Chain A
Amino acid sequence: MVRKVAVVGVGQTVHGKRREVSFPELVHEAVKRALDDANLTIEEIEAVVSGSMPAPMEGVNAPHLYWGDDAAGAVLKPNMRVATCGTTGMSVAQSGYYHVASGMFDVVLAVGAEKQYEGEAQGTMNTVGDAHFSRPFVPGAPGVFAQQSNEYLHRYDVPEEKIRLAAAEVSVRNHLDAFDNPYAHIKIKIKVDDVLNSRIICYPIRLLDVCPQSDGACAIIYASEERARKITDTPAWVKGVAYCGNEYWSSDNDSVENPGTIEVARRAYKMAGITNPLKQLDVAEVYNPFTFQEMMHYECFGFCKPGEAYKLVEEGIVSRSGELPCDPSGGVLSTNPIGATAMVRVVEAALQVTGKAGAHQIPDAETAFSNGLGGANHLISVMILSRTP
């Protein structure tokens, strides 16, 4: 029987260009903040799960050895490394949850981190596919997601300009919301025209449709129900957890109405008892490395019908004052320390349902959605948190 599990402490570093700290020092910063938040000592942590992007990203090729035990406080404890590309932070977060839900451990620390300024992110990502068939055609993450976005632009009987305009508004909103998040990286006031006139990176993706590269780390402490109630008065309860893989060959499934992305939400909703996400969710931290992905996610997650994401943007439904605010933290579009990024979504969900999100708090948020995405729709994950168990 799966036990009830709560998030009892969270910690983030300030994300951005963090040249002044080494990778272990960066990780330690997030872990210390999570311990302080939960008012726990490292001795009370029974097991650790940690992860980051493929190791060539930073060029110290066993990060688990470099910072996993010392900086994350796992000496003489179980420490499992999980690395699943863009969804790493969520894989680590879910593995931490499994550790407690299974009954094996009562208090567990999950840590995700990245130092993108130390390496060549796109150069590394070009090597995540096989060398025989795929690698000569992998033009970095933007090139991969651009093809998905282009397919989306031409899928429905909606003028390309309408979707393009909505995607630009998504960029404006995320970069503006980042001002109210003390941990966010890129905070800029831009207009729709700035996005539409920014230079093409990979058509249809323009510079302001793209997330930044950031240094940053993130940590979550989970506890069993009994321990959670002793540790904090404001636990964030894990209500829905789901994870789906998709075929390696991206053409084997529909990249727009993506089967894994649709299924992962369906399973998480079922576990959390959600039948109408738009009504029942109070806030969503959608994984949005590119503007068009945020919109495709709305559709796959059932926030609206296929092809209608632009309406949610146009009508302000996903704005902070709307019915389902999306990425009030500024999202991935403003902040992207990849190995931590998907975990930041969970942390933001926890902050929202415990009323601790500060200037970007959504009033009375009780139930929050978070998700991660790795590869080109290859690994997709969702966690739903709530104020009540």
Chain B
Amino acid sequence: MAEEGIKSVKYGAIQLPYRWSIGEAGLKFFQGMKNKKIMGSKCPKCGKVLVPGRKFCSTCFVDIPDWVQVSDKGTIESWTLVTYPYINQPANPPYIIARIKLDGADSSFHHYIGEVDISDLENVKKQVKVGAKVQAVWRDKTVGDIMDIQYFKLI
């Protein structure tokens, strides 16, 4: 135990700025997002359309020169309703995150599901289902960011 007048724990924080390279594939993908187009890359070997598009296929380990536009509509592969808070959380709970496979894509990515009454879990479960169809809701002003899509809504 600490002696009287001395704390046994020291409090502190580290704040550091970063400059993360977006990458060659990232630039292409986010250029598409700025134009409200979702771009994937089609592997010349396995033929899979990977979204967001990438420079290489991790399975075939070959470069991917070909890019294709995919739909901004897709299917929920899985989802969760987040209800607990913690430091650095990307949004204020409650909110819904889903893994979405867009039509024309062979892989999926994560985004928010919006326009659902999330005050009641049972209500959410009735509406948000594995296999449910969704569509991107774009922001009016796009800047070339994953959040140019505000969220996906059920259709």
Q: Which residues of A contact B (CB under 8 A)?
A: 19-20, 56, 59, 61, 120, 122-123, 126-127, 130-140, 142-143, 146-148, 150-151, 154, 199-205, 247-252, 255
15 A-B contacts (beta carbon < 8 Å): A59-B12, A132-B22, A133-B52, A136-B146, A136-B147, A139-B82, A139-B95, A140-B89, A143-B97, A151-B130, A154-B130, A201-B84, A203-B83, A204-B80, A255-B78
Closest residue on chain B to residue A150 by CB atoms: B78
Closest residue on chain A to residue B26 by CB atoms: A132
A201, B83: Cβ atoms closer than 8 Å = yes
B87, A122: Cβ atoms closer than 8 Å = yes
B89, A126: Cβ atoms closer than 8 Å = yes
A199, B83: Cβ atoms closer than 8 Å = yes
Give the CA-CA distance A250 to B107 in the complex, in Å: 9
By DSSP majority rule, is chain B's interface helix, strand, loop, or mixed?
A: loop
Closest residue on chain B to residue A136 by CB atoms: B90
Residue B153 lies at the interface, judged by CB distance under 8 Å to chain A: no
B101, A251: Cβ atoms closer than 8 Å = yes
B79, A249: Cβ atoms closer than 8 Å = no
B8, A139: Cβ atoms closer than 8 Å = no
Of A20, A132, A142, which is in contact with the most chain B CB atoms at under 10 Å from its CB? Answer: A132
Residue B124 lies at the interface, judged by CB distance under 8 Å to chain A: yes
A143, B80: Cβ atoms closer than 8 Å = yes
A251, B22: Cβ atoms closer than 8 Å = no
Q: Which of B88, B91, B97, B125 contacts A147 (CB 8 A)?
A: B97
B87, A251: Cβ atoms closer than 8 Å = no
Given A20-B8, A132-B146, A133-B109: A123 touches B88 (CB 8 Å cut-off)? yes
Give the CA-CA distance A151 to B108 in the complex, in Å: 14
Q: Which residues of B contact A (CB under 8 A)?
A: 1, 8-9, 12-14, 18, 20, 22-23, 26, 30, 50, 52, 58-59, 77-84, 86-91, 93, 95, 97-99, 101, 107-112, 121, 124-125, 129-131, 146-147
Give the CA-CA distance A142 to B125 in the complex, in Å: 18
Residues of B within 8 A of A205 (CB): 80
Residues of A within 8 A of B84 (CB): 140, 142, 201-202
Closest residue on chain A to residue B10 by CB atoms: A118
B1, A20: Cβ atoms closer than 8 Å = yes
Closest residue on chain A to residue B147 by CB atoms: A136
B20, A249: Cβ atoms closer than 8 Å = no
Residues of B within 8 A of A255 (CB): 78
Residues of B within 8 A of A122 (CB): 86-89
A134, B86: Cβ atoms closer than 8 Å = no
